[in-house]
A and B are shown apart, each in its own frame.
Chain A
Amino acid sequence: MLKARVIPCLDVKDGRVVKGVNFVDLRDAGDPVEAAAAYDAAGADELCFLDITASHEARGTLLDVVERTAALCFMPVTVGGGIRTNDDIRALLLAGADKVSINSAAVADRSFVGRAADKFGDQCIVVSIDAKRVSGPDEAPRWEIFTHGGRKATGIDALAFAEDVVRLGAGELLVTSMDRDGTKIGFDLPLTRAIADRVTVPVIASGGVGTLDHLVEGILQGHATAVLAASIFHFGTHTIGEAKAHMAAAGIPMRLDPSELAGPR
Protein backbone atom coordinates (compact mmCIF):
# COMPACT_ATOMS: atom_id res chain seq x y z
CA MET A 1 0.00 0.00 0.00
CA LEU A 2 1.23 3.48 -0.85
CA LYS A 3 2.12 5.48 2.24
CA ALA A 4 1.40 9.13 3.01
CA ARG A 5 4.52 11.30 2.86
CA VAL A 6 5.97 13.80 5.33
CA ILE A 7 8.09 16.41 3.58
CA PRO A 8 10.23 18.93 5.45
CA CYS A 9 10.88 22.07 3.41
CA LEU A 10 14.09 24.06 3.69
CA ASP A 11 14.16 27.67 2.50
CA VAL A 12 17.57 28.31 1.00
CA LYS A 13 19.05 31.72 0.25
CA ASP A 14 22.51 32.14 -1.29
CA GLY A 15 23.27 28.52 -0.40
CA ARG A 16 22.27 28.85 3.26
CA VAL A 17 19.21 27.72 5.18
CA VAL A 18 17.09 30.72 6.12
CA LYS A 19 16.76 30.90 9.91
CA GLY A 20 18.72 27.66 10.42
CA VAL A 21 17.68 24.28 11.67
CA ASN A 22 17.79 23.57 15.37
CA PHE A 23 16.39 20.11 15.88
CA VAL A 24 19.63 18.23 16.12
CA ASP A 25 23.27 18.95 16.91
CA LEU A 26 24.62 20.15 13.62
CA ARG A 27 28.07 21.53 13.16
CA ASP A 28 26.56 24.21 10.98
CA ALA A 29 22.81 24.79 11.42
CA GLY A 30 22.76 26.93 8.30
CA ASP A 31 24.16 24.31 5.94
CA PRO A 32 21.29 22.90 3.88
CA VAL A 33 23.24 19.72 3.15
CA GLU A 34 23.73 18.93 6.83
CA ALA A 35 20.06 19.59 7.47
CA ALA A 36 19.08 17.38 4.54
CA ALA A 37 21.24 14.52 5.79
CA ALA A 38 19.73 14.83 9.26
CA TYR A 39 16.21 14.70 7.82
CA ASP A 40 17.18 11.72 5.68
CA ALA A 41 18.42 9.85 8.74
CA ALA A 42 15.29 10.88 10.65
CA GLY A 43 13.04 9.17 8.12
CA ALA A 44 11.68 12.09 6.08
CA ASP A 45 9.90 10.71 3.02
CA GLU A 46 11.09 13.46 0.70
CA LEU A 47 12.92 16.71 1.03
CA CYS A 48 12.01 20.03 -0.49
CA PHE A 49 14.44 22.88 -1.12
CA LEU A 50 12.87 26.21 -1.86
CA ASP A 51 15.44 28.61 -3.27
CA ILE A 52 14.66 32.20 -2.43
CA THR A 53 17.93 33.60 -3.74
CA ALA A 54 17.15 36.94 -5.29
CA SER A 55 19.69 37.07 -8.08
CA HIS A 56 19.88 34.67 -10.95
CA GLU A 57 23.69 34.85 -10.86
CA ALA A 58 23.78 33.23 -7.42
CA ARG A 59 21.94 30.12 -8.57
CA GLY A 60 25.17 28.18 -8.87
CA THR A 61 25.16 27.95 -5.08
CA LEU A 62 21.83 26.10 -5.23
CA LEU A 63 23.15 23.59 -7.75
CA ASP A 64 26.09 23.00 -5.45
CA VAL A 65 23.70 22.38 -2.54
CA VAL A 66 21.68 19.90 -4.61
CA GLU A 67 24.82 18.12 -5.80
CA ARG A 68 26.22 17.73 -2.31
CA THR A 69 22.82 16.58 -1.01
CA ALA A 70 22.51 13.93 -3.72
CA ALA A 71 25.93 12.62 -2.73
CA LEU A 72 24.79 12.06 0.86
CA CYS A 73 21.04 11.48 0.81
CA PHE A 74 19.38 8.55 -0.91
CA MET A 75 15.94 10.07 -0.70
CA PRO A 76 13.82 12.01 -3.19
CA VAL A 77 14.52 15.73 -3.43
CA THR A 78 12.26 18.39 -4.94
CA VAL A 79 13.71 21.80 -5.73
CA GLY A 80 11.69 24.94 -6.33
CA GLY A 81 12.25 28.65 -6.68
CA GLY A 82 13.08 30.72 -9.74
CA ILE A 83 12.70 27.93 -12.30
CA ARG A 84 11.87 29.55 -15.65
CA THR A 85 13.23 27.37 -18.45
CA ASN A 86 13.83 23.77 -19.41
CA ASP A 87 17.55 24.51 -19.05
CA ASP A 88 16.96 25.44 -15.39
CA ILE A 89 15.17 22.10 -14.92
CA ARG A 90 17.84 20.10 -16.71
CA ALA A 91 20.58 21.64 -14.54
CA LEU A 92 18.72 20.73 -11.35
CA LEU A 93 17.96 17.18 -12.46
CA LEU A 94 21.57 16.64 -13.48
CA ALA A 95 22.66 17.94 -10.08
CA GLY A 96 20.53 15.25 -8.45
CA ALA A 97 17.02 16.69 -7.96
CA ASP A 98 14.19 14.23 -8.64
CA LYS A 99 11.42 16.74 -9.12
CA VAL A 100 11.24 20.45 -9.71
CA SER A 101 8.56 22.74 -8.44
CA ILE A 102 7.43 25.49 -10.81
CA ASN A 103 5.58 28.47 -9.42
CA SER A 104 5.55 31.95 -10.93
CA ALA A 105 6.76 30.79 -14.35
CA ALA A 106 3.65 28.59 -14.58
CA VAL A 107 1.43 31.48 -13.57
CA ALA A 108 3.05 33.75 -16.16
CA ASP A 109 2.93 31.14 -18.95
CA ARG A 110 1.07 27.89 -18.42
CA SER A 111 2.41 26.38 -21.62
CA PHE A 112 5.80 26.13 -19.87
CA VAL A 113 4.30 23.32 -17.76
CA GLY A 114 3.49 21.39 -20.93
CA ARG A 115 6.93 21.93 -22.46
CA ALA A 116 8.64 20.83 -19.24
CA ALA A 117 6.44 17.73 -18.87
CA ASP A 118 6.98 16.72 -22.50
CA LYS A 119 10.72 16.95 -22.05
CA PHE A 120 11.24 15.50 -18.59
CA GLY A 121 8.06 13.50 -17.98
CA ASP A 122 4.99 14.49 -15.97
CA GLN A 123 6.30 12.71 -12.89
CA CYS A 124 9.07 15.23 -12.23
CA ILE A 125 7.05 18.40 -12.78
CA VAL A 126 5.43 19.75 -9.63
CA VAL A 127 3.38 22.92 -9.93
CA SER A 128 3.39 25.00 -6.79
CA ILE A 129 0.11 26.84 -6.24
CA ASP A 130 0.04 29.75 -3.77
CA ALA A 131 -3.59 30.60 -3.12
CA LYS A 132 -5.57 33.00 -0.95
CA ARG A 133 -9.25 32.88 -0.21
CA VAL A 134 -10.92 35.85 -1.88
CA SER A 135 -14.59 35.13 -1.17
CA GLY A 136 -16.41 36.71 1.76
CA PRO A 137 -17.47 34.68 4.81
CA ASP A 138 -21.00 34.24 3.50
CA GLU A 139 -20.06 33.43 -0.08
CA ALA A 140 -19.20 30.10 -1.68
CA PRO A 141 -15.46 29.67 -1.14
CA ARG A 142 -13.22 30.93 -3.92
CA TRP A 143 -9.43 31.06 -3.99
CA GLU A 144 -7.14 33.08 -6.18
CA ILE A 145 -3.51 32.57 -7.18
CA PHE A 146 -1.13 35.04 -5.56
CA THR A 147 2.51 35.63 -6.42
CA HIS A 148 5.40 37.46 -4.77
CA GLY A 149 4.99 35.69 -1.47
CA GLY A 150 1.26 36.32 -1.37
CA ARG A 151 1.47 40.06 -1.99
CA LYS A 152 0.33 40.21 -5.59
CA ALA A 153 -3.08 39.07 -6.77
CA THR A 154 -3.37 37.60 -10.25
CA GLY A 155 -7.13 37.26 -10.66
CA ILE A 156 -6.61 33.60 -11.59
CA ASP A 157 -9.00 31.11 -9.97
CA ALA A 158 -6.92 28.55 -8.08
CA LEU A 159 -9.15 25.54 -8.85
CA ALA A 160 -9.36 26.28 -12.56
CA PHE A 161 -5.59 26.84 -12.64
CA ALA A 162 -4.99 23.52 -10.86
CA GLU A 163 -7.08 21.62 -13.40
CA ASP A 164 -5.39 23.40 -16.25
CA VAL A 165 -1.80 22.68 -15.21
CA VAL A 166 -2.64 19.01 -14.58
CA ARG A 167 -4.13 18.79 -18.07
CA LEU A 168 -0.89 20.30 -19.39
CA GLY A 169 1.25 17.72 -17.63
CA ALA A 170 1.90 18.62 -13.98
CA GLY A 171 2.52 15.34 -12.15
CA GLU A 172 1.90 16.72 -8.68
CA LEU A 173 0.56 19.90 -7.07
CA LEU A 174 2.02 21.65 -4.04
CA VAL A 175 -0.89 23.63 -2.64
CA THR A 176 0.05 26.38 -0.20
CA SER A 177 -2.50 28.55 1.54
CA MET A 178 -1.03 32.04 1.73
CA ASP A 179 -3.64 32.84 4.38
CA ARG A 180 -2.28 30.11 6.61
CA ASP A 181 1.43 30.16 5.78
CA GLY A 182 3.36 30.94 8.97
CA THR A 183 0.25 31.04 11.19
CA LYS A 184 0.59 27.57 12.79
CA ILE A 185 -3.22 27.23 12.89
CA GLY A 186 -3.41 24.40 10.35
CA PHE A 187 -3.89 23.94 6.61
CA ASP A 188 -6.71 25.62 4.71
CA LEU A 189 -8.48 22.25 4.48
CA PRO A 190 -11.34 23.33 2.20
CA LEU A 191 -8.74 24.63 -0.30
CA THR A 192 -6.62 21.48 -0.14
CA ARG A 193 -9.66 19.24 -0.48
CA ALA A 194 -11.26 21.26 -3.28
CA ILE A 195 -8.10 20.88 -5.38
CA ALA A 196 -7.30 17.28 -4.36
CA ASP A 197 -10.82 16.12 -5.23
CA ARG A 198 -10.70 17.87 -8.58
CA VAL A 199 -7.39 16.58 -9.99
CA THR A 200 -6.09 13.10 -10.77
CA VAL A 201 -2.53 13.76 -9.55
CA PRO A 202 -1.16 13.73 -5.99
CA VAL A 203 -1.55 16.89 -3.91
CA ILE A 204 0.87 18.06 -1.20
CA ALA A 205 -0.78 20.17 1.51
CA SER A 206 1.28 23.13 2.69
CA GLY A 207 1.00 26.27 4.80
CA GLY A 208 0.00 26.59 8.43
CA VAL A 209 1.21 23.48 10.23
CA GLY A 210 1.59 24.08 13.95
CA THR A 211 0.70 20.71 15.49
CA LEU A 212 0.91 17.04 14.56
CA ASP A 213 -2.88 16.90 14.34
CA HIS A 214 -2.66 19.40 11.50
CA LEU A 215 -0.65 16.85 9.50
CA VAL A 216 -3.33 14.22 10.12
CA GLU A 217 -6.05 16.64 9.00
CA GLY A 218 -4.19 17.40 5.78
CA ILE A 219 -4.43 13.76 4.74
CA LEU A 220 -7.78 12.71 6.21
CA GLN A 221 -9.77 15.91 5.69
CA GLY A 222 -7.73 17.68 3.01
CA HIS A 223 -7.39 14.49 0.91
CA ALA A 224 -3.73 15.27 0.28
CA THR A 225 -1.31 12.37 -0.23
CA ALA A 226 1.59 14.25 1.33
CA VAL A 227 2.10 17.02 3.88
CA LEU A 228 4.80 19.65 3.85
CA ALA A 229 5.96 21.58 6.87
CA ALA A 230 8.91 23.68 7.88
CA SER A 231 9.10 25.34 11.26
CA ILE A 232 7.63 22.57 13.43
CA PHE A 233 10.52 20.39 12.28
CA HIS A 234 13.29 22.98 11.94
CA PHE A 235 12.80 24.38 15.41
CA GLY A 236 12.64 20.99 17.04
CA THR A 237 8.99 21.27 18.12
CA HIS A 238 8.54 17.77 16.74
CA THR A 239 10.73 15.20 15.06
CA ILE A 240 9.90 13.52 11.77
CA GLY A 241 9.57 10.28 13.73
CA GLU A 242 7.01 11.78 16.10
CA ALA A 243 5.04 13.15 13.16
CA LYS A 244 4.94 9.81 11.37
CA ALA A 245 4.10 7.86 14.53
CA HIS A 246 1.27 10.31 15.27
CA MET A 247 -0.13 9.98 11.75
CA ALA A 248 0.15 6.19 11.89
CA ALA A 249 -1.72 6.18 15.21
CA ALA A 250 -4.50 8.16 13.50
CA GLY A 251 -4.86 5.31 11.02
CA ILE A 252 -2.86 6.77 8.12
CA PRO A 253 -0.55 4.26 6.38
CA MET A 254 3.00 5.52 6.98
CA ARG A 255 6.48 4.29 6.13
CA LEU A 256 8.21 3.49 9.41
CA ASP A 257 11.29 1.68 8.08
CA PRO A 258 14.38 1.66 10.26
CA SER A 259 17.05 3.88 8.73
CA GLU A 260 20.59 2.70 8.26
CA LEU A 261 21.67 6.09 7.05
CA ALA A 262 22.45 7.67 10.39
CA GLY A 263 25.80 5.90 10.57
CA PRO A 264 29.14 6.98 9.12
CA ARG A 265 29.32 7.44 5.41
Chain B
Amino acid sequence: MSVAIIDYGSGNLRSAAKAFERAAREAGYAGAVQVTADPDVVRRADRVVLPGVGAFADCKAGLDAVPGMVETLDEVVLRGGKPFLGICVGMQLLAARGREKATTEGLGWIGGEVRLITPADPALKVPHMGWNTLDLVRPHPILADVPTGERGLHAYFVHSYHFVPDDPAHGVATTDYGGPVTAIVGRDTVVGTQFHPEKSQTLGLALIRNFLAWRP
Protein backbone atom coordinates (compact mmCIF):
# COMPACT_ATOMS: atom_id res chain seq x y z
CA MET B 1 0.00 0.00 0.00
CA SER B 2 1.62 3.25 -1.11
CA VAL B 3 0.17 6.69 -0.54
CA ALA B 4 1.11 9.78 -2.52
CA ILE B 5 0.48 13.08 -0.75
CA ILE B 6 0.66 15.81 -3.33
CA ASP B 7 3.05 18.65 -2.57
CA TYR B 8 2.10 21.81 -4.39
CA GLY B 9 3.40 24.39 -1.98
CA SER B 10 0.32 24.38 0.20
CA GLY B 11 1.77 23.91 3.67
CA ASN B 12 1.16 21.49 6.49
CA LEU B 13 2.10 18.35 4.61
CA ARG B 14 4.05 16.97 7.52
CA SER B 15 0.96 16.57 9.68
CA ALA B 16 -0.90 14.77 6.91
CA ALA B 17 2.06 12.51 6.16
CA LYS B 18 2.53 11.62 9.81
CA ALA B 19 -1.14 10.83 10.31
CA PHE B 20 -1.15 8.56 7.24
CA GLU B 21 2.04 6.86 8.38
CA ARG B 22 0.53 6.15 11.77
CA ALA B 23 -2.82 4.94 10.40
CA ALA B 24 -1.05 2.70 7.87
CA ARG B 25 1.20 1.27 10.56
CA GLU B 26 -1.75 0.58 12.86
CA ALA B 27 -3.68 -1.08 10.06
CA GLY B 28 -0.69 -3.29 9.26
CA TYR B 29 -0.04 -1.92 5.79
CA ALA B 30 3.52 -2.05 4.65
CA GLY B 31 4.54 0.57 2.14
CA ALA B 32 5.47 4.12 1.85
CA VAL B 33 3.75 7.43 2.42
CA GLN B 34 5.40 9.83 0.01
CA VAL B 35 5.06 13.58 -0.13
CA THR B 36 5.60 14.30 -3.79
CA ALA B 37 5.30 16.72 -6.68
CA ASP B 38 6.18 13.97 -9.17
CA PRO B 39 3.28 12.79 -11.37
CA ASP B 40 5.01 9.42 -11.83
CA VAL B 41 4.93 8.78 -8.08
CA VAL B 42 1.22 9.66 -8.11
CA ARG B 43 0.68 7.29 -11.03
CA ARG B 44 2.33 4.39 -9.15
CA ALA B 45 0.64 5.04 -5.78
CA ASP B 46 -2.30 3.01 -4.51
CA ARG B 47 -3.89 6.04 -2.86
CA VAL B 48 -3.70 9.75 -3.69
CA VAL B 49 -4.16 12.53 -1.15
CA LEU B 50 -4.55 16.21 -2.01
CA PRO B 51 -4.16 18.35 1.10
CA GLY B 52 -4.63 22.10 1.02
CA VAL B 53 -4.38 25.06 3.31
CA GLY B 54 -4.89 28.62 2.21
CA ALA B 55 -7.00 30.48 -0.27
CA PHE B 56 -8.78 28.63 -3.10
CA ALA B 57 -7.21 30.67 -5.93
CA ASP B 58 -3.72 30.41 -4.44
CA CYS B 59 -4.04 26.63 -4.03
CA LYS B 60 -5.41 26.16 -7.55
CA ALA B 61 -2.57 28.21 -8.99
CA GLY B 62 -0.11 26.12 -6.97
CA LEU B 63 -1.57 22.85 -8.25
CA ASP B 64 -1.63 24.11 -11.84
CA ALA B 65 2.02 25.09 -11.48
CA VAL B 66 3.15 21.49 -10.87
CA PRO B 67 4.05 20.20 -14.34
CA GLY B 68 1.72 17.43 -15.48
CA MET B 69 -0.03 17.02 -12.12
CA VAL B 70 -3.60 18.01 -13.01
CA GLU B 71 -3.45 15.91 -16.20
CA THR B 72 -2.11 12.95 -14.23
CA LEU B 73 -4.84 13.27 -11.60
CA ASP B 74 -7.49 13.39 -14.32
CA GLU B 75 -5.99 10.28 -15.86
CA VAL B 76 -5.38 8.09 -12.82
CA VAL B 77 -8.19 9.21 -10.52
CA LEU B 78 -11.05 10.50 -12.61
CA ARG B 79 -10.64 8.03 -15.46
CA GLY B 80 -8.46 5.38 -13.80
CA GLY B 81 -10.44 5.02 -10.59
CA LYS B 82 -7.61 5.33 -8.09
CA PRO B 83 -8.95 6.13 -4.60
CA PHE B 84 -8.47 9.82 -3.86
CA LEU B 85 -8.89 11.92 -0.71
CA GLY B 86 -9.02 15.72 -0.79
CA ILE B 87 -8.56 17.56 2.49
CA CYS B 88 -9.88 21.06 3.24
CA VAL B 89 -8.98 23.24 0.23
CA GLY B 90 -7.87 20.00 -1.45
CA MET B 91 -11.52 18.93 -1.17
CA GLN B 92 -12.83 22.31 -2.28
CA LEU B 93 -10.69 22.14 -5.43
CA LEU B 94 -12.89 19.23 -6.61
CA ALA B 95 -15.65 21.77 -7.31
CA ALA B 96 -16.29 23.43 -10.63
CA ARG B 97 -15.76 26.87 -9.11
CA GLY B 98 -14.53 28.61 -6.02
CA ARG B 99 -15.97 31.95 -4.98
CA GLU B 100 -13.39 32.89 -2.35
CA LYS B 101 -12.51 36.55 -3.03
CA ALA B 102 -12.49 36.07 -6.84
CA THR B 103 -14.18 33.36 -8.90
CA THR B 104 -11.68 30.62 -9.74
CA GLU B 105 -12.15 27.43 -11.72
CA GLY B 106 -11.63 24.23 -9.77
CA LEU B 107 -10.91 20.72 -11.04
CA GLY B 108 -14.62 20.28 -11.78
CA TRP B 109 -14.69 16.61 -10.71
CA ILE B 110 -17.82 17.19 -8.63
CA GLY B 111 -20.35 19.75 -9.86
CA GLY B 112 -20.96 22.68 -7.57
CA GLU B 113 -19.19 25.64 -6.11
CA VAL B 114 -17.40 26.75 -3.00
CA ARG B 115 -19.19 29.60 -1.22
CA LEU B 116 -18.90 31.63 1.95
CA ILE B 117 -20.57 30.05 4.97
CA THR B 118 -23.60 32.08 6.03
CA PRO B 119 -24.84 30.77 9.40
CA ALA B 120 -28.51 31.50 10.07
CA ASP B 121 -27.54 32.76 13.53
CA PRO B 122 -25.57 36.00 13.05
CA ALA B 123 -23.86 35.50 16.42
CA LEU B 124 -21.99 32.51 14.98
CA LYS B 125 -18.44 33.43 14.03
CA VAL B 126 -16.81 32.90 10.66
CA PRO B 127 -14.37 31.11 10.20
CA HIS B 128 -16.13 27.99 11.48
CA MET B 129 -13.26 27.04 13.73
CA GLY B 130 -13.08 24.10 16.09
CA TRP B 131 -14.62 20.71 16.79
CA ASN B 132 -17.97 19.67 15.42
CA THR B 133 -19.87 16.43 14.88
CA LEU B 134 -20.90 14.96 11.52
CA ASP B 135 -24.40 14.25 10.21
CA LEU B 136 -24.56 11.48 7.67
CA VAL B 137 -26.18 12.27 4.32
CA ARG B 138 -25.53 8.77 3.01
CA PRO B 139 -23.40 5.88 4.21
CA HIS B 140 -19.85 5.80 2.85
CA PRO B 141 -17.00 3.33 3.47
CA ILE B 142 -14.71 6.05 4.81
CA LEU B 143 -17.12 6.57 7.70
CA ALA B 144 -17.41 2.86 8.50
CA ASP B 145 -17.72 2.40 12.26
CA VAL B 146 -17.28 6.14 12.87
CA PRO B 147 -19.98 7.34 15.28
CA THR B 148 -21.83 10.30 13.72
CA GLY B 149 -24.68 12.52 14.90
CA GLU B 150 -24.79 14.91 17.84
CA ARG B 151 -23.42 12.24 20.19
CA GLY B 152 -20.80 11.06 17.74
CA LEU B 153 -17.09 11.79 17.46
CA HIS B 154 -15.80 15.25 16.54
CA ALA B 155 -13.85 16.50 13.54
CA TYR B 156 -11.65 19.60 13.46
CA PHE B 157 -12.83 22.35 11.10
CA VAL B 158 -11.16 25.60 10.20
CA HIS B 159 -12.74 27.27 7.17
CA SER B 160 -14.88 30.16 6.00
CA TYR B 161 -16.07 28.62 2.72
CA HIS B 162 -17.80 25.34 1.98
CA PHE B 163 -18.64 23.11 -0.96
CA VAL B 164 -22.23 23.35 -2.23
CA PRO B 165 -22.66 20.37 -4.59
CA ASP B 166 -25.08 20.69 -7.52
CA ASP B 167 -26.24 17.12 -6.97
CA PRO B 168 -27.17 16.42 -3.33
CA ALA B 169 -26.21 12.78 -3.95
CA HIS B 170 -22.57 13.94 -3.98
CA GLY B 171 -22.86 14.99 -0.36
CA VAL B 172 -21.73 12.37 2.17
CA ALA B 173 -21.89 14.25 5.48
CA THR B 174 -22.70 17.71 6.80
CA THR B 175 -22.01 19.47 10.04
CA ASP B 176 -24.36 21.85 11.80
CA TYR B 177 -23.23 25.47 12.02
CA GLY B 178 -26.32 27.63 11.89
CA GLY B 179 -27.61 25.23 9.24
CA PRO B 180 -25.95 22.38 7.38
CA VAL B 181 -22.37 22.97 6.21
CA THR B 182 -20.80 20.45 3.85
CA ALA B 183 -18.33 18.21 5.70
CA ILE B 184 -17.69 15.35 3.21
CA VAL B 185 -18.36 15.03 -0.51
CA GLY B 186 -17.87 11.91 -2.60
CA ARG B 187 -18.29 10.52 -6.05
CA ASP B 188 -17.03 7.18 -7.41
CA THR B 189 -13.47 6.77 -6.08
CA VAL B 190 -13.16 10.41 -5.07
CA VAL B 191 -13.86 11.62 -1.56
CA GLY B 192 -13.12 14.92 0.13
CA THR B 193 -13.33 16.20 3.70
CA GLN B 194 -13.73 19.85 4.64
CA PHE B 195 -12.31 19.08 8.07
CA HIS B 196 -8.75 17.96 8.75
CA PRO B 197 -8.56 14.21 9.45
CA GLU B 198 -4.87 14.64 10.29
CA LYS B 199 -5.91 16.99 13.12
CA SER B 200 -9.05 15.18 14.21
CA GLN B 201 -7.54 12.73 16.66
CA THR B 202 -9.70 9.60 17.05
CA LEU B 203 -12.17 10.33 14.24
CA GLY B 204 -9.39 11.43 11.91
CA LEU B 205 -7.24 8.35 12.31
CA ALA B 206 -10.30 6.10 11.90
CA LEU B 207 -11.25 7.89 8.69
CA ILE B 208 -7.72 7.58 7.31
CA ARG B 209 -7.65 3.85 8.15
CA ASN B 210 -10.99 3.49 6.36
CA PHE B 211 -9.65 5.34 3.33
CA LEU B 212 -6.64 3.01 3.18
CA ALA B 213 -8.90 -0.03 3.48
CA TRP B 214 -11.38 1.26 0.87
CA ARG B 215 -11.71 -0.99 -2.18
CA PRO B 216 -14.08 0.93 -4.44
Task: Enumerate chain A interface residues (CB-CB to B < 8 A).
Answer: 1-5, 40, 45, 67, 70-72, 74-76, 90, 93-99, 118-124, 171-172, 200-203, 225-226, 255, 257-261, 265
Given that A76-B199, A122-B160 are contacting pairs, would A265 and B131 also be in contact in the complex, using a CB cutoff of 8 Å?
no
Any chain A CB within 8 A of the CB of B87?
no
Contact A98 B12 (CB under 8 A): yes
Residues of A with C-beta under 8 A to B129: 123, 171-172, 202, 225
The answer for the CA separation of A40 and B199 in the assembled complex, in Å, is 11
Given that A45-B131, A98-B158, A261-B202 are contacting pairs, would A70 and B55 also be in contact in the complex, using a CB cutoff of 8 Å?
no
Residues of B with C-beta under 8 A to A74: 15, 18-19, 22, 198-201, 204-205
- Nearest CB in chain B: distance from A132 CB, A: 25
Task: Enumerate chain B interface residues (CB-CB to A < 8 A).
Answer: 11-15, 18-19, 22, 53-55, 58, 89, 124-133, 150, 153-154, 156-160, 176-177, 196, 198-205
The answer for the CA separation of A1 and B179 in the assembled complex, in Å, is 10
Contact A120 B53 (CB under 8 A): yes
Contact A1 B55 (CB under 8 A): no
Residues of A with C-beta under 8 A to B130: 2-5, 45, 202, 225-226
Given that A3-B131, A121-B55 are contacting pairs, would A257 and B11 also be in contact in the complex, using a CB cutoff of 8 Å?
no
Residues of B with C-beta under 8 A to A67: 14
Contact A259 B125 (CB under 8 A): no
Residues of A with C-beta under 8 A to B150: 1
- Nearest CB in chain A: distance from B52 CB, A: 10
Q: Which of B53, B132, B198 contacts A121 (CB 8 A)?
A: B53
The answer for the CA separation of A150 and B152 in the assembled complex, in Å, is 43
Given that A94-B12, A120-B53, A202-B127 are contacting pairs, would A260 and B202 also be in contact in the complex, using a CB cutoff of 8 Å?
yes
- Nearest CB in chain B: distance from A11 CB, A: 23
Residue in chain B with minimal CB distance to A258: B202
Q: Which of A76, A90, A261 contacts B158 (CB 8 A)?
A: A76
Residues of B with C-beta under 8 A to A123: 127, 129, 158-160
Residue in chain A with minimal CB distance to B206: A260
Contact B203 A257 (CB under 8 A): yes
Residues of B with C-beta under 8 A to A40: 201
Given that A3-B132, A93-B53, A121-B55 are contacting pairs, would A171 and B202 also be in contact in the complex, using a CB cutoff of 8 Å?
no
Q: Which of B12, B13, B128, B196 contacts A2 (CB 8 A)?
A: B128
Residues of A with C-beta under 8 A to B13: 94
Residues of A with C-beta under 8 A to B14: 67, 70-71, 94-96
Residue in chain A with minimal CB distance to B101: A118
- Nearest CB in chain B: distance from A130 CB, A: 21
Residues of B with C-beta under 8 A to A95: 14
Contact B22 A265 (CB under 8 A): yes
The answer for the CA separation of A203 and B203 in the assembled complex, in Å, is 25
Further pairs besides A123-B127, A171-B129: 16, Cβ < 8 Å: A2-B128, A2-B177, A45-B130, A72-B18, A76-B199, A93-B53, A96-B12, A97-B12, A98-B12, A98-B196, A122-B160, A123-B158, A171-B160, A225-B130, A226-B130, A257-B201
Residues of A with C-beta under 8 A to B160: 122-123, 171
Residues of A with C-beta under 8 A to B158: 76, 98-99, 123-124, 171
Residue in chain A with minimal CB distance to B158: A123
Residues of A with C-beta under 8 A to B125: 200-203, 225
Contact A259 B12 (CB under 8 A): no
- Nearest CB in chain A: distance from B85 CB, A: 15
Given that A2-B177, A122-B127 are contacting pairs, would A75 and B132 also be in contact in the complex, using a CB cutoff of 8 Å?
no
Tell which of B55, B124, B131, B203 has the most Cβ of chain A within 10 Å.
Answer: B131
Tell which of A2, A90, A120, A257 has the most Cβ of chain B within 10 Å.
Answer: A2
- Nearest CB in chain B: distance from A227 CB, A: 12
Residue in chain A with minimal CB distance to B56: A121
